[in-house]
């Protein structure tokens, strides 16, 4: 029964949250194939020798060794995959549970700042605003962790429809106007330029643009410039966010879309950040049929771009 269960690759892949070719069962079958190939090779080589006992002994030893090694590798892989799945499930449950009290805290602080504003002193108001800002940051982090868990479990839901990508860009630019002004950063975006509609998930696309734009502001020193450009390339629309910020050291370019990765220069300059935004953005864009990439030079600036299918 266990053998039949072990060979049910689809069920195994589902239970462990991995692709079929990554399941222990698949690896076991591959080891069997390798054993057969080695045995056949041994047979042909041994034709040059007279003793059949020697051939049988050699073949049996090879098979036993391959199976023993294979079995221990497979149990180890199985254990690791189970642990990995448990970790993703834990992150997902913990993030879900944290969201409710966090929303309640934000709701209560908003109430204090609106309805009970008159009975709260200026000093107390400042503290409440601080609590509100910190709980908003924590909500953001919890949401990011939830998205990472969804991505790792292949459970990210994308609901695509036709949309005008300049709408979320305009909103994000307006929301961040004050912050950019306080850092004397000029924002350039031609909102009037008519672009074709894209086929994407509006909420997720907003998350990606928000991440690229927030990074551009976060990693640009005062008196810089951020430019958002939309262009067409065949059946894809390209969105590029260019900044004149601190850039990324060349030797760390290949790691930039990794989970939790933050470049050395950034860690020194900006303590706030998780290294999750670009990992999530890459997964979202690729699941919508697009690509994400960047060009960057340390101390000169970066251009983060993504492509997304045009709506036909």
d(C-alpha 221, C-alpha 190), whole Å: 23
Nearest approach in angstroms of CB 214 to ligand ADP is 8
Is 249 among the residues that bind ligand ADP (CB under 6 A)? no
**Among the listed residues 256, 284, 292, 308, the single contact to ligand ADP using CB under 6 A:** 256
Does residue 246 belong to the site contacting ligand ADP (CB under 6 A)?
A: yes
- Distance from C-alpha of 103 to C-alpha of 135, rounded to nearest angstrom: 8
Interface region with ligand ADP, contact rule CB under 6 A, candidates 47-55, 69-77, 193-201, 258-266: 258-266
Question: Interacting stretch for ligand ADP, rule CB under 6 A, among 5-13, 23-31, 68-76, 261-269?
Answer: 261-269
304, burial (CB in 10 Å: exposed 0-12, middle 13-18, buried 19+): buried
Q: For residue 81, state whether it binds ligand ADP (rule: CB under 6 A).
A: no
Q: Does 12 bind ligand ADP (CB under 6 A)?
A: no
Rule CB under 6 A: say whether 25 interacts with ligand ADP.
no
Is position 24 an interface residue for ligand ADP (rule: CB under 6 A)? Answer: no
Query: Which three-class secondary structure state does DSSP give residue 294?
Result: strand
User: Alpha-carbon distance 243 to 214, whole Å?
Assistant: 11
Q: Exposed, middle or buried, 267 (CB in 10 Å: 0-12/13-18/19+)?
A: exposed
Distance CA 205, CA 211 (A): 10
Q: Give the nearest distance from C-beta 264 to ligand ADP in angstroms.
A: 8
Provide the minimum distance between the beta carbon of 168 and ligand ADP in the complex, in angstroms, as a whole number: 17
308 CB-contact burial (10 Å; exposed 0-12 / middle 13-18 / buried 19+): buried
The conformation of residue 190, written as its DSSP 8-state character, comes to: -
Selected binder of ligand ADP within 24, 59, 243, 288 (CB under 6 A): 243
284 belongs to the binding site for ligand ADP (CB under 6 A): no
Shortest distance in whole angstroms from residue 252 CB to ligand ADP: 7
Fill in the per-residue mask, 194 to 213: x = in contact with ligand ADP (CB under 6 A), - = not in contact: -----------------x--
Distance of alpha carbon 135 from alpha carbon 44, whole angstroms: 71
Q: Considering the complex, what minimum distance in angstroms separates the CB of residue 206 from ligand ADP?
A: 15
What does the DSSP 8-state code read for residue 117? G
Helix, strand, coil in percent for the chain, rounding step 5: 60, 15, 25
Give the helix ranges, DSSP H, for 8-121: 9-16, 24-46, 52-114
Closest CA to 292 of 213, 202, 208: 208
Please report, for the chain, how many H helices and E strands are present, in that order. Answer: 10, 7
Least separation in angstroms between residue 150's CB and ligand ADP is 16
Per CB under 6 A, does 28 bind ligand ADP?
Answer: no
Contact between 224 and ligand ADP per CB under 6 A:
no
Give the binding range for ligand ADP (CB under 6 A) out of 9-17, 88-96, 153-161, 243-251.
243-251
From candidates 112, 165, 208, 276, binder to ligand ADP by CB under 6 A: 276
What is the smallest separation between the CB atom of 255 and ligand ADP, expressed in angstroms? Answer: 9
Interface ranges with ligand ADP (CB under 6 A): 211, 215-216, 219, 243, 245-248, 256, 261-263, 266, 273-279, 302
């Amino acid at each position: 029964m266990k053998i039949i269960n072990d060979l049910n690759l689809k069920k195994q892949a589902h239970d462990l949250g991995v692709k079929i070719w990554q399941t222990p069962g698949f690896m076991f079958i591959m080891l069997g194939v390798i054993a057969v190939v080695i045995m056949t090779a041994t047979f042909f080589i041994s034709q040059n020798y007279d003793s059949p006992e020697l051939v049988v002994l050699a073949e049996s030893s090879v098979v036993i060794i391959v199976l023993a090694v294979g079995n221990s590798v497979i149990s180890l892989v199985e254990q690791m995959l189970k642990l990995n799945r448990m970790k993703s499930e834990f992150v997902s449950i913990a993030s879900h549970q944290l969201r409710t009290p966090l929303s309640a805290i934000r709701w209560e602080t908003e109430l204090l700042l609106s309805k009970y504003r008159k009975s709260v002193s200026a000093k107390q108001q400042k503290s409440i605003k601080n609590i509100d800002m910190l709980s908003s940051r924590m909500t953001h982090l919890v949401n990011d962790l939830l998205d990472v868990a969804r991505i790792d479990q292949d459970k990210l839901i994308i609901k695509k429809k036709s949309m005008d990508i300049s709408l979320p860009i305009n909103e994000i630019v307006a929301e961040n106007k004050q912050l950019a002004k306080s850092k004397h950063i000029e924002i350039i975006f031609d909102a009037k330029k008519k672009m074709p509609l894209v086929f994407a998930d509006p909420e997720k696309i907003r998350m990606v643009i928000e991440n690229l734009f927030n990074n551009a502001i976060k990693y640009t020193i005062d008196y810089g410039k951020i430019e958002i450009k939309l262009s067409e390339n065949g059946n894809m629309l390209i969105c590029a966010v260019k900044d004149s910020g601190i850039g990324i050291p060349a030797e760390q370019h290949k790691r930039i879309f990794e989970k939790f990765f933050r470049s050395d220069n950034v860690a020194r300059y900006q303590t706030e950040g998780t290294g999750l935004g670009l990992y999530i953005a890459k997964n979202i864009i690729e699941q919508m049929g697009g690509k994400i990439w960047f060009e960057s030079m340390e101390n000169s600036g970066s251009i983060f771009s993504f492509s997304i299918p045009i709506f036909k």
